[in-house]
Amino acid sequence: MKGKTILRRAWFGLLLILATAVGLLAQNGQNPFELKPRLSKEEAAAPVQADTNTSNPFEIVAPPSSGAEAVSIEPSAEGDPGQAMVSSSSEARYRRFLFTIVIQLFLLLTILFTLFRSIPARAYRAFLNDNMLSQLHREQGSIVSIPYFLFYLFFFFNGGFFLFLLSWHYGIPIAERHWVSFALLTGGLAGIFAAKHLLLKVLEAVLPVQKELRVYSFTIIIFSIVLGFLLMPFNLLIAYGPADAVSGVIVLAFTMLGLVFAFRFVRGVFIAGRFVALHLFHFLLYICTVEIAPALIVAKVVYMAANSS
């Protein structure tokens, strides 16, 4: 037992000596478990540059700022987008104005037909028949009644709308706002007819043909009422018809206007028939100053405005 104990102590001492020797050798040698940096101190201190040759599919690459490959943000030659936006806004405002005016005209016409439903039929018969016109004039007297006056106003609104459509189609500037242009054209048309009626009143006081002049003044009112009805479909076609058909519709409208005014002129000649032979010079003077001259002046003004625009 004593010999085994000595032997164990001897082996333990030998193992301790070997472990101490290995530890001393390990301090002077390389540690297999030591972590060594892959870069040297100089390489670690140098600034790291990004690799621009990598093909990262998620990398956002800025476009070149100059050169042939640069993307131009200037407007193309086809047109300025801002100008196109302004034109689109102007067209939208014009369409809204058309819709508002058409609705109001139809509403006014509906009210007039509801309140005075017999007036349109009687005006149409007087438009075709001279005897019916004379009968209506005797019923009205020297001052036209309110129903005929209201239908006469409807003609001015409808005629002003027709002139507004013509000014927009031919690019004739009237005013910046559509409502102002419509009001000016309607007021101008009403002013022309008011001046004609005033001139006829002056002639009544000067010439001994009071009855015939009053009949002719009432004839202007009747023909204008019928003309207000005839202008409605032409206004709708010009406002909402196909663009390539607007010019043809305008030609038809002017043809209709010419026929109506020619028919009114013939009726006026028949009204003043017994005075034409005796006062031919005065009759021709009236025709030139009251009927022809205003039409030529208006046509000249429209022509000059169209050329200036």
Compute the distance between CA of residue 114 and CA of residue 276 in angstroms, rounded to an integer.
42
Q: Which residues contact 159 (CB under 8 A, 6 or more apart)?
A: 186, 189, 227, 228, 231
In a domain, 169, yes or no: yes
In a domain, 38, yes or no: no
In a domain, 292, yes or no: yes
Q: Which residues contact 264 (CB under 8 A, 6 or more apart)?
A: 219, 220, 223
In a domain, 99, yes or no: yes
Provide the domain limits for residue 287.
90-308
Compute the distance between CA of residue 17 and CA of residue 36 in angstroms, rounded to an integer.
30
Q: How far from the centroid of its chain's Cα atoms is residue 284's Cα?
A: 45
In a domain, 32, yes or no: no
In a domain, 63, yes or no: no
| Total number of domains in the chain | 1
What was the pLDDT predicted at 189?
Answer: 93
In a domain, 147, yes or no: yes
Compute the distance between CA of residue 300 and CA of residue 293 in angstroms, rounded to an integer.
10
Q: pLDDT tens per residue, the chain (309 residues)?
A: 555 555 555 555 555 555 555 454 444 445 554 555 555 555 555 555 544 455 555 555 555 554 444 444 444 445 555 566 666 788 899 999 999 999 999 999 999 999 999 999 999 999 999 899 989 999 887 788 999 999 999 999 999 999 999 999 988 888 889 999 999 999 999 999 999 899 888 888 887 778 888 899 999 999 999 999 999 999 999 999 998 999 999 999 999 999 999 999 889 888 877 676 666 776 777 777 777 777 777 777 767 766 765
In a domain, 36, yes or no: no
